Structure 1
Amino acid sequence: MSIFNALMGNSTKVDLAKLADEFGPLLIEGEQIKGAYRVVRDMFVFTNKRCILVDRQGVTGRKTEYLSIPYHDIARYAVETAGSFDMDAELKIWLRGDSQPIVKQFPKVANTLRFTA
Structure 2
Amino acid sequence: MGLFDSLMGNASEADPKKVEEEMREWLTAGEQVESAFKLYRDLMVFTNKRLIMLDKQGVTGKKVEYHTVPYRSITHYSVETAGTFDLDSELKIWVSSTAEPVSKTFRNDDNIFDVQRALSKYVL
Give the TM interval when normalised to the shorter protein: 0.7 to 0.9
Q: Determine if the alignment matches structure 1 residue 19 to structure 2 residue 24.
A: no
Instruction: After superposition, give the CA deviation of every residue in 1:21-78 in whole Å (9 maximum; x if it has no partner).
Output: 4211111112111111112221110101000111122233222211100000000001
Alignment of 1:3-82 (within 5 A): 11-82=11-82
C-alpha distance in 2 between matches for 1:20 and 1:74: 22
Q: TM-score under structure 2 normalisation?
A: 0.72
Q: TM-score under structure 1 normalisation?
A: 0.75
Query: % of aligned pairs identical?
Result: 44
Flag the structure with higher helix content.
2
C-alpha distance in 2 between matches for 1:55 and 1:76: 21
CA RMSD for the aligned pairs? Answer: 2.2
The SS at the match of 2:23 is helix
Alignment of 1:93-108 (within 5 A): 93-106=93-106, 108=107
Q: How many residues align?
A: 106
| Alpha-carbon distance, 1:82 to partner | 2.6
Structure 1 gap segments, 5+ residues each: 1-9
Instruction: After superposition, give the CA deviation of every residue in 1:94-117 in whole Å (9 maximum; x if it has no partner).
Output: 1122232111223x3x44333669
C-alpha distance in 2 between matches for 1:19 and 1:55: 15
C-alpha distance in 2 between matches for 1:56 and 1:36: 15
Contact 2:20 2:32 in 1 (8 A): no
Structure 2 gap segments, 5+ residues each: 1-9
